[in-house]
């Protein structure tokens, strides 16, 4: 999967949002049938799973959306459609801000639908936390802060429902990491204009990343973000072992090669 959590709350409070470029409507990408019509939810789900495994995110989202049209209360189809639409938006060109924002918004709507269908399913809460994190990049000021609070609620719900959800612990780690390392100027502006930001700490970030590694020791990004947190804390001596681990683990996820390049750069900076 793509980078789990991108800069939850980089508070560009005094900078207006980018002008948005025209983009193809989300529905035109994510709701077209992925193949010849079928009348089986199971078939569409299987198609979506296969396409997701090939990182064909638009096609996978379309398959899951097709399953939802046949069975609107299908929890699995709803959260998986939201997840793949988030991944699809991540892969859109950076200049297509309107397309990205629209897709992240729709991904969040699908995950919210999944939660309504099955409030006890951890996947819906987790995938919503990721979609909201991406959407926060396109929101400013008070709305960004409110989204950060929602992200924490959803990630907390995910780990409460599934204590083995390593990716949800990763989200919580990134949440604490981002908030703990906001500049004092941004914190001051946020306090003056919006009443402050939620509390976050690097110590909590470390605890969350270590828990994620304990659950899933083969996920590259857990080690990378733990190393980054130690850098924020001035504990560079703890970074090399983690970064070496990033380089030694086999590539599994779509972004793993990029994570390894980042780890190599971080190691060079330590020399």
pLDDT(63) > 50: yes
Q: Is residue 227 part of a domain?
A: no
Q: Is residue 247 part of a domain?
A: no
Q: Look at residues 77, 92, 69, 75 and name the one whose alpha carbon lies nearest to residue 2.
A: 92
Q: Which residue has the higher pLDDT, 51 or 178?
A: 51
Among left, alpha and beta (phi > 0; psi -120 to 50; other), residue 25 is beta
Between the CA of residue 23 and those of 53, 158, 212, what are the distances in Å?
Answer: 26, 32, 36
pTM (2 decimals)? 0.84
Q: Is residue 214 part of a domain?
A: no
Is the separation of the CB atoms in 183 and 173 below 8 Å? no
Calpha distance 79→68 (Å, rounded): 10
Q: How many residues does the chain have?
A: 271
What pLDDT sits at residue 181?
86
Residue 37 tokens, joined = 């019509």
What pLDDT sits at residue 143?
78
- Kindly report which listed range (24-38, 172-186, 202-216, 246-260) carries the lowest average pLDDT score: 24-38
Q: Look at residues 169, 184, 70 and name the one whose alpha carbon lies nearest to residue 129.
A: 169
What pLDDT sits at residue 15?
26
Q: Is residue 59 part of a domain?
A: yes
pLDDT by residue (tens digit) across 106-138? 999 999 999 999 999 999 999 999 999 999 888
Q: Is residue 23 part of a domain?
A: yes
Q: Is residue 179 part of a domain?
A: no
E runs forming strands in 56-140: none
Mean pLDDT, range 44-62, rounded to an integer: 97
Tell me if residue 55 falls in helix, strand or coil: coil
Calpha distance 114→61 (Å, rounded): 14
Mean pLDDT, range 235-263, rounded to an integer: 97
What pLDDT sits at residue 265?
98
- Kindly indicate the confidence band of residue 4, based on its pLDDT and cuts at 50, 70 and 90: low
Element (H, E) at 211: helix 202-215
- Kindly report which listed range (143-147, 167-171, 205-209, 259-263) carries the lowest average pLDDT score: 143-147
- Kindly indicate the confidence band of residue 75, based on its pLDDT and cuts at 50, 70 and 90: very high
CATH label of the domain that carries residue 72: 1.25.40.10
Q: Is residue 101 part of a domain?
A: yes
Q: Is residue 161 part of a domain?
A: no
Calpha distance 33→48 (Å, rounded): 11
Calpha distance 89→101 (Å, rounded): 8
How many domains would you assign to the chain?
1
What pLDDT sits at residue 224?
98
Is the separation of the CB atoms in 102 and 25 below 8 Å? yes
Calpha distance 109→103 (Å, rounded): 10
Mean pLDDT, range 45-61, rounded to an integer: 97
Is the separation of the CB atoms in 3 and 256 below 8 Å? no
131 is in which domain, residue-wise?
A: 19-138
What pLDDT sits at residue 11?
39
């Amino acid at each position: 999967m793509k980078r789990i959590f991108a800069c939850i709350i980089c508070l560009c409070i005094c900078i207006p949002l980018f002008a948005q470029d025209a983009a193809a409507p989300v529905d035109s990408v994510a709701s077209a049938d992925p193949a010849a019509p079928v009348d089986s939810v199971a078939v569409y789900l299987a198609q979506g799973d296969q396409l997701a495994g090939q990182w064909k995110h638009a096609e996978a989202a379309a398959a899951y959306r097709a399953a939802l049209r046949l069975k609107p209360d299908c929890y699995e189809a709803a959260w998986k459609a939201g997840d793949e639409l988030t991944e699809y938006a991540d892969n859109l060109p950076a200049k297509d801000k309107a397309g990205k924002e629209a897709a992240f918004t729709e991904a969040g709507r699908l995950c919210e639908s999944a939660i309504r269908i099955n409030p006890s399913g951890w996947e819906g809460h987790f995938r919503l936390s990721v979609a909201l994190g991406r959407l926060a990049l396109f929101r400013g000021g008070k709305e960004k802060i409110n989204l950060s609070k929602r992200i924490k609620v959803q990630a907390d719900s995910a780990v409460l429902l599934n204590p083995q959800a390593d990716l949800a612990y990763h989200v919580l780690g990134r949440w604490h990491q981002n908030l703990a390392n906001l500049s004092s100027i941004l914190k001051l502006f946020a306090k003056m204009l919006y009443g402050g930001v939620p509390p976050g700490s690097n110590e909590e970030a470390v605890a969350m990343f270590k828990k994620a590694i304990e659950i899933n020791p083969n996920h590259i990004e857990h080690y990378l973000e733990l190393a980054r947190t130690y850098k924020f804390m001035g504990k560079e001596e703890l970074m090399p072992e983690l970064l070496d681990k990033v380089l030694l683990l086999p590539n599994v996820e779509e972004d793993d090669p990029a994570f390894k390049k980042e780890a190599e750069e971080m190691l060079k900076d330590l020399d």
